[in-house]
Amino acid sequence: MKKFFILTLAFLVVLTSSPSGFGTLAQEVSDLKLIVVAADFSDAPHKSEFSNMCDELFSESGQSLNRFYKEVSSGTIKVSQGSFLKGGWVRMPKPITYYAQDNEESFDIRCHEMIDALMHEAAKNGLDFDEYIKSWSQPPCVCIVVSGGCEGYTNFPKNDGFWPHMSMSSVTIDGKTIEFLYVLVCEEQSVNSTASQVMAHEFGHIMGLADLYDYDCGGPFKEGDCGYPVTCFDIMAARHKGLGMSGFHREKMSFLRPVVVGQSGEYDIPPITTNANGSYLIVPIEGTKEYLALEYRKKEGIDAFWGGIPSEGLLIYKIDDSVTYRHRFNSGDKNNHYAVEILNPGKTEWHENACYSIESGHAIASPKTDPSTLPFDKNYTKIVTVEVLSKLGPTLKVRITIAPKENVFFSMDKNWAVTGDLHKTCFRVKIFNKGSNPVMLDCDPQVFGEKNVKLNPDNGKEISLVLSYPKNKLGERLVERSFSVESENQTFFFKVLLRNAYFIMDYNSNGVIEEEDLLKIFSGLNTKEMKYDLDGDGVVGYGDFIVASRYIGVKYK
């Protein structure tokens, strides 16, 4: 593929009116014609031939926009140039810093002046809008690539470079106003992407696809903390690193139909790049509107474009179908709950090792693994475990196990205990099995006093925790500790607040436990207060005084 550098292009594309669903668009349209015009600036002249841009768009053999959508659609979409071949570099009357200027509310605030000039120049050179409108339907679309550097999340604002985006504009020629969608990309991309890759992302918006990235990650959209829910494995996940297309978006475009898995079994999954039957599995989580989506990613087809996906194997997505699919739908909430999120066993920020495989050492995803297959909605009634059974090959064999949720609940008379670092406090917890099957719980005997707890259906048992205050937190009045017990399929958590015995025993608050403190506490009516139950036996008495005496003379702050 020819190297692509600086350039400003506007392709005029004509798009069907945005469908309410994504079902039939790709099936109805086969040849999508783009008009290509290019603009440069006195302070940012172009660096490559106009023909190089056309190769990036329409090549049948290179990693072009056309080949990307032709392969992802199994040949139902072709992107071509149409009859307008007179496009070329058009020098804008003003410098790039005029058109690409940003302000506090927006970016590239005068780019519409540039677009208007490009469209008028194209019309002078014989552009027939009707040809391109017929290729799609109203409104037409203009895709613009500009010369100069690329503005992005990490370098915003940048007044000598444009922000690649998709939006809408209009032009009036010979008294006729034509409204159009447009895509704007830059000739000079970052080191992490090429022009055709950015165009494939923005062209996805033309086709009705939404971004999969978190808009809070920077640039003019930054509002707070952000995360990276999908990253490398979908062209819509990031315009500079997104690769291939997920089954989630292939289904949106009707390039494939998912297989819905409702019971346990083994499945041979072909690569998602084939769009074959069984290449995209969804496992609904009963009791919720969430599901797991499974696909096999191999570095072939469009998954090999632009350097290729970073790893191969099974991708598992958590998808929340209750979130409406729209602009910015995947920005997440305050709990980093995303509508579409890849389980990421490799733990790297950009999901370079997110694929499950025998080769990677990550072959199982379950409610007990990290990351977990449990949904965000706690009303689920079934749990799912996925295990990769075969090495990477033409297909990938996986086992999907769907089992009833084990209903284990915890009950405590109070959710706090007073303890220190020189003694241990007994804390009683009642565990109930409200399910229909027996449950065997595995416990830490150093904390719970016993290794295994068996609970019959609709039955409960009281167990005791042995607690002490963490030595590295002695300067804090209160800490929260999380405890867990495990069944064969699940891990159950509960929390206890630990109140610092030093602060309670230090009656005069001088930072040292003295005899005077203990005499004032245990010789008066204050002994009726349960906060002085230091040994956890449920009463305040002589045993607590004996425990407290261990702390005499200790300076804790």
CATH number at residue 459: 2.60.40.10
**Distance between CA atoms of 534 and 418, rounded to whole angstroms?**
6
Residues 464 and 514 in one domain: no
Residues 236 and 309 in one domain: yes
Residues 421 and 398 in one domain: no
What is the pTM (predicted TM-score) of this model?
Answer: 0.81
Q: What is the pLDDT, as a whole number, of residue 8? A: 33
Q: What is the pLDDT, as a whole number, of residue 13? A: 38
Share the mean pLDDT of the chain. 87
Residues 21 and 143 in one domain: yes
**Distance between CA atoms of 476 and 185, rounded to whole angstroms?**
54
325-to-21, 228, 461 alpha-carbon distances in Å: 10, 18, 46
CATH number at residue 525: 1.10.1330
Q: What is the pLDDT, as a whole number, of residue 224? A: 59
- The residue among 54, 36, 221, 32 whose CA lies nearest residue 135 is 32
Take residue 225 and report the two structure tokens written for it.
């903390």
Q: What is the pLDDT, as a whole number, of residue 164? A: 84
Indicate the number of domains in the chain.
4
Residues 145 and 85 in one domain: yes
The answer to whether residue 1 sits within a structural domain is: no
**Distance between CA atoms of 170 and 178, rounded to whole angstroms?**
5
The answer to whether residue 215 sits within a structural domain is: no
CA atoms within 13 A on the CB side of 73: 24
Q: Which of 384, 404, 424 is the last residue of a domain?
A: 404
Residues 94 and 158 in one domain: yes
The answer to whether residue 216 sits within a structural domain is: no
Residues 99 and 202 in one domain: yes
In sequence order, the 6+-apart residues with CB closer than 8 A to the CB of 314 are 269, 294, 295, 296, 297, 355, 356, 357, 386, 388, 396, 398
Query: Could you write out the three-class secondary structure of 25-46?
Result: HHHHCCEEEEEEEEEEECCECC
Take residue 122 and report the two structure tokens written for it.
């194209």
Q: What is the pLDDT, as a whole number, of residue 65? A: 94
Domain with 463, as residue range(s), is 408-498
Q: What is the pLDDT, as a whole number, of residue 102? A: 84
Amino acid occupying residue 156: F
Residue whose structure tokens are 């409960």: 460
One pLDDT digit (tens) per residue for the chain, 557 residues: 333 222 333 333 333 333 333 333 345 557 888 888 888 999 999 988 888 888 999 999 999 999 999 999 999 999 998 888 887 889 999 999 999 888 777 788 899 999 999 999 999 999 888 888 888 766 777 667 678 767 665 566 777 888 888 888 899 999 999 888 888 878 876 555 778 898 899 899 988 999 998 887 755 555 556 788 998 999 999 766 789 999 999 999 999 999 999 999 999 999 999 999 999 999 999 999 999 999 999 999 999 999 999 999 999 999 999 999 998 899 887 677 999 999 999 999 889 999 999 999 999 999 999 999 999 999 999 999 999 999 999 999 999 999 999 999 999 999 999 999 999 999 999 999 998 889 999 999 988 888 999 999 999 999 999 999 999 999 999 999 999 999 988 899 999 999 999 999 999 999 999 999 999 888 875 667 889 999 999 999 889 999 999 999 999 98
The answer to whether residue 3 sits within a structural domain is: no
The answer to whether residue 157 sits within a structural domain is: yes
How far the first Cα of the chain sits from its last, in Å, is 68
Residues 154 and 47 in one domain: yes
Q: Are 112 and 162 in contact (CB under 8 A)?
A: no
The answer to whether residue 378 sits within a structural domain is: yes
Q: What is the pLDDT, as a whole number, of residue 219? A: 53
Secondary structure letter of residue 56 according to DSSP:
H
Q: What is the pLDDT, as a whole number, of residue 191? A: 53
Q: What is the pLDDT, as a whole number, of residue 220? A: 57
- The residue among 207, 200, 208 whose CA lies nearest residue 239 is 200
**Distance between CA atoms of 57 and 63, rounded to whole angstroms?**
9
Q: Which of 380, 404, 428 is the last residue of a domain?
A: 404
Residues 288 and 399 in one domain: yes
Secondary structure letter of residue 418 according to DSSP:
E
Residues 158 and 181 in one domain: yes
Residues 34 and 144 in one domain: yes
Q: What is the pLDDT, as a whole number, of residue 229? A: 92
Secondary structure letter of residue 216 according to DSSP:
G
The answer to whether residue 479 sits within a structural domain is: yes
Burial 494-506 (b: 16+ CB within 10 A, else e): bebebbbbbbbbb
Amino acid occupying residue 104: E
Q: Which of 349, 371, 404 is the last residue of a domain?
A: 404
Burial of 203 (0-12, 13-18, 19+ CB in 10 A): buried
Residues 166 and 285 in one domain: no
The answer to whether residue 218 sits within a structural domain is: no
Q: Secondary structure of the chain: what % helix, strand, coil (to 5)?
A: 20, 30, 50
